[in-house]
Amino acid sequence: MVGFRNLFMNWINKVAKHHKEYVNTIKQFGEDFYAEDLVQEMYVRFITKNKEQQVMNKGEVNRYYVWLTLRSLFIDFHRQKICP
């Protein structure tokens, strides 16, 4: 079980290395206040939906997939904010 945990932590840690970049991406979309929350939601989505294969490509973070996920989360958040 320890080996599985190490493998899991390895890929999610690689994703998290770019945390500030993800927060800045959300801010560029136009959301400053909840940027950190949306990035955290992305991590939760990746973990709970077992997205390692989509997020990681040959041992590197698939930044395009991350960007698409952040954009999707931002759009969903914005819709809820406008039309609760």
> pLDDT tens digits, residue range 4-54?
555 556 889 999 999 999 999 999 999 999 999 999 999 999 988 888 889
Q: What is the pLDDT of residue 51?
A: 84
Helix, strand, or coil (residue 18) = coil
Q: What range does the domain containing 9 cover?
A: 2-82
| CA neighbor of 30 nearest in space, from 80, 67, 68, 78 | 78
Number of domains the chain contains: 1
* Separation of alpha carbons 9 and 27, rounded Å: 27
* Model confidence pTM above 0.75: yes
* Separation of alpha carbons 11 and 29, rounded Å: 26
* Separation of alpha carbons 24 and 50, rounded Å: 25
* Neighbouring-strand partners of residue 61: 56
Residue 63 pLDDT class (50, 70, 90 cuts): very high
